[in-house]
Amino acid sequence: MSSEKQVIIVDEQDNEIGVVPRSEHDAHIFRVSALWVTNSKGEFLLAQRSFDKKHNPGKWGPAVSGTIEQNETYLSNIIKETEEEIGLTLKESDINLGPKISNLDDKSREHHYFTQWFFYQTDSKEEDFKYDQTEVANVKWFTKEEVEKSLKTFLPSMMSYINKFNQ
């Protein structure tokens, strides 16, 4: 039996329909959790993906994100990923639930998934975060204007995420 992690796959209404090895999940609809970290100045803490990542290496995106694995919920996944990726230990009560979005309508997308957003606010400095270099190359606080000026270095969907965030 393979020791490869199993990823939950879902139908078009986000109902769990099974699990597949992580190496095969891109061919299915799957689940992702994302943590948007803000500070009291209204800045976003964004993470630069490791340059070794399969998808969008070196691109900036939410502070934390992860694919939901077997026996995980959106919430348990984001708590685990937050500790693994940026070194923050959070409890359920620290996190605010945000919207659940999907990219199923975007036929130009190579991968289709539901993303459950979570929000957390802190005034920690960038150097306070202890990030896993295999996942995250860097973290930095950004204003919305800085994101708009540098779109080519961000995930392709970043501006639509920022606009949804501000709604």
The partner residues of 121 in beta bridges, in order of sequence, read: 38
- Residues facing residue 126 across a β-bridge: none
Name which CATH class applies to 6-155.
alpha beta
Number of Cα atoms under 13 Å in the Cβ half of residue 146: 10
Q: What is the pLDDT of residue 156?
A: 65
Question: Across-strand partners of 116?
Answer: 33, 100
Q: Which of 20, 51, 54 is nearest to 138 (CA)?
A: 51
Domain boundaries, the chain: 6-155
Average pLDDT, 10 consecutive residues per value, the chain (167 residues): 85 97 91 96 93 86 95 98 94 96 86 95 95 90 83 66 65
Neighbours of 101 (CB within 10 A): 17
Q: Hey, what long-range contacts does 5-8 have (CB within 8 A, 24 or more apart)?
A: 5/69, 5/70, 6/69, 6/70, 7/67, 7/68, 7/69, 7/70, 8/68, 8/69, 8/70, 8/72
Burial of 38-60, coded b for 16+ CB within 10 Å and e otherwise, reads beeeebbbbbbbbeeeeeeeebb
